[in-house]
Amino acid sequence: MARDLKLFPRVHRQPFRRRSRALAATAAAIAIGGTVLTEVPVSAAGKPKGHDVSSHQKNVDWQSAKAKSATFVYVKATESHTYRSPYFSRQYAGSRAAGLIRGACHFALPDRPSGITQARYFVRNGGAWRAEGWTLPPALDIEYNPYGKQKCHGLGKARMAGWITAFSDEVNRLTGRRPVSYTTAHWWNTCTNSSSAFTSRHALWLARYNAADPGALPSGGRKLWTFWQYDNSGSLPGDQNLFNGTSAQLKRFAQGA
């Protein structure tokens, strides 16, 4: 996703994954090789294509995205407890009008207010869910701190796992769905000590670039990824993603399966 911050006006606003240059470099350092991908990886051919956008993409041409085989999209809604993307409403409504299954995403800053506070802000500002088959579960984007030297936001591993638990429990209480976890294997293993507390409850949205396949998953007993963000540019606006299943399974996942 993206950190489009009014919270930090001195930081240049970037798209979901443009801020991920450093994240991608870190991932590359842990066994990501090859060239930058511009097409869907051969190993994932045939899986439903999607993308994610933030305020950086502004007014997206959703019909064009649909024509290029987009089936789903995640739209950044909020960050921390004070920022809501000014483009969220039009992007969220526009993608649905074009026939895409869409969901909302929250960019976490765990060193700021509690997981409960940020979850409530997210749900109030677009992170809701309905079992009508067009709304993906709310998503939590949690990764290395883009604003300072403390990569894990200054939280110890147990506190980080506790923050995620609090966010997840509150989102589930308010919406009836556990959030999808967007992260990298390296961040998860480093900042949560490979926690297995969420393996059976959270669908995984894995970020791993410049690779022919998703590679190693976060430790903690997880066997499958649900979404894979495989590049930060391509034929669709924003970052490029795949769903690990069929179109029918994607629909059922949106419905609550």
Which of the residue ranges 7-11, 157-161, 212-216 would you say has the lowest mean pLDDT? 7-11
The pLDDT of residue 131 is: 95
Q: Which of 14, 20, 52 is nearest to 36 (CA)?
A: 20
- Mean pLDDT (the chain) is 85
Residue listed under structure tokens 């299954």:
101
Of the candidates 147, 135, 105, the one whose C-alpha atom is nearest the C-alpha of residue 1 is 105
Distance CA(175)–CA(6), nearest Å, equals 27
Residue 215 token pair: 């590679």
Catalytic (active-site) positions = 52, 141, 143
For the domain covering 18-255, report its CATH number: 3.20.20.80
CA dihedral defined by 187, 190, 193, 194, rounded to 10 degrees? 40
Helix crossing, 115-124 with 157-175: angle to 10°?
30
pLDDT band for position 201 (cuts 50, 70, 90): confident
Taking the model in full, what pTM does it have? 0.85
User: For the segment 22-80, what is each residue's pLDDT rounded down to a tens digit?
Assistant: 344 333 332 222 333 446 776 667 899 999 999 999 999 999 999 999 999 999 999 99
The pLDDT confidence band at residue 10, using thresholds 50, 70 and 90, is very low
* Stronger pLDDT, 230 or 16, i.e. the higher one: 230
Q: For residue 204, what are the contacts with CB-CB under 8 A and spacing of at least 6?
A: 180, 181, 183, 217, 218, 222, 224, 225, 226, 227
CB neighbour list of residue 219: distance below 8 Å, 6 or more residues apart: 185, 188, 189, 194, 196
Q: Once rounded to an integer, what is the mean pLDDT over residues 14-22?
A: 42
Distance, CA of 59 to CA of 253 (rounded, Å) = 27
Q: What is the DSSP letter of 135?
A: B
